[in-house]
A and B are shown apart, each in its own frame.
Chain A
Amino acid sequence: MIWLIASALLFSMGAYGALTRRTAILVFLSIELMLNAAALSLISFSRLYGSLDGQVVVLFIIAIAAAEVAVGLGLIVAIFRRRETTSVDELRQLRG
């Protein structure tokens, strides 16, 4: 039960970081923290229910996080080469 509360706290901290960080890399780092908090809650639910399915889902989360990081960091590097910045305040061409 205490780990469910810990995962709630970690998730909120990651959300705070994703909102307040101003460069894309650090926003991405906070999103990794939120993913990790979700995985922690899955593992503790898996323990509480006595079922291994939660752990299998966490394995998938880790694999998908690896794919996400590969694509996301590739995007950040490509944007930085073209725009010389990754500040999320300056990358707002898609805003109406």
Chain B
Amino acid sequence: MSVGLWEVLALLLLIGSGLAVVRLQNAVHAALALIANFLVVAGVYVALEARFVAMIQIIVYAGAIVVLFLFVIMLLSAASANVGQDLMPRLPWVAGLGAIGLAGLLTFAVTRFQPPANAPALGGGLPQALGPLLYDPEKWLYALLAVGFLLLVATVAAVVLIEPERIISATGHPAHPRRDKMPTPPMSEQKDEKAVVKR
């Protein structure tokens, strides 16, 4: 595989934006560098015959996930600041050495890998080629259904996590009832009160 100008450029952009994600002190800048990294990776996906995944990468990763990150960073601006005493001041050096060692090991592992000769073409990785695989019961159909269920559960969990007390009291099992937000009494009691007033 020949290494051209575009590969070198994309590699430099990947490394630069990755370093920016893990080193920048401003959390908003780190999240924006992550968007840049995801966009470059999407370009690499197009070059690797995975066009549908590249589009999904841009829409879901760069468009939705990082924007969610940016929302939370800006909502909790105090939560993204480095505060307090650093418990392990020498950790960055140790972690840097460990990361360099890990990179060396992984690079050694993948350069030892021998790809099979004359691999078939992928047809550009378009949805026409991916769809039959996704919906084939002998391939990935049940995994797809499981992922759909997982997304439903995660959505419910995200809603419940924000205000557990209110969700619990709305379902009629108040854990910590608040006086200003007491659930309305059941219909039967209201009817009884009206009956008492009439008498």
Q: Are B75 and A77 in contact, with the CB atoms below 8 A? A: yes
- With the chains together, A30 CA to B18 CA distance in Å? 9
Chain A neighbourhood of B60, CB < 8 A: 62-63, 65-66
Q: Are B119 and A49 in contact, with the CB atoms below 8 A? A: yes
CB contact list, B60-78 vs A, under 8 A: 60-61, 64-66, 68-69, 72-73, 75-76, 78
Q: Are A80 and B119 in contact, with the CB atoms below 8 A? A: no
A94 at the interface (CB under 8 A from B): no
- With the chains together, A77 CA to B49 CA distance in Å? 39
0/1 interface trace, chain A 37-73, chain B, CB 8 Å (1 if under): 0011101101111111101101110111111111101
Q: Are A71 and B130 in contact, with the CB atoms below 8 A? A: no
Nearest residue (CB) in A for B91 is: A20
B100 to chain A, nearest CB (A): 7
Please tell me the number of chain B residues within 8 Å of chain A, measured between CB atoms: 90
Whether A52 contacts B125 in the complex (CB less than 8 A), given A43-B50, A67-B154, comes out as: yes
- With the chains together, A25 CA to B79 CA distance in Å? 8
A41 to chain B, nearest CB (A): 8
0/1 interface trace, chain A 10-26, chain B, CB 8 Å (1 if under): 11111111011111111
The size class of the interface chain A forms with chain B is 35 or more
- With the chains together, A56 CA to B127 CA distance in Å? 10
Q: Are B99 and A16 in contact, with the CB atoms below 8 A? A: yes
B115 to chain A, nearest CB (A): 4
B38 to chain A, nearest CB (A): 7
Nearest residue (CB) in A for B47 is: A3
B176 to chain A, nearest CB (A): 13
Could you list which residues of chain B lie within 8 angstroms of chain A, going by C-beta atoms? 1, 3, 7, 10-11, 14-15, 18-19, 21-23, 27, 30-31, 34, 37-38, 41, 44-45, 48-50, 52-53, 56-57, 60-61, 64-66, 68-69, 72-73, 75-76, 78-87, 91-92, 95-96, 98-100, 102-103, 106-107, 109-111, 113, 115-116, 119-122, 125, 129-130, 133-134, 139-140, 143-144, 147, 150-151, 153-155, 157-158, 161-162, 164
Instruction: Rank and list the top 6 A-B pairs by shortest CB-CB distance, nearest first.
Output: A17-B22, A50-B119, A8-B106, A67-B154, A16-B99, A12-B103
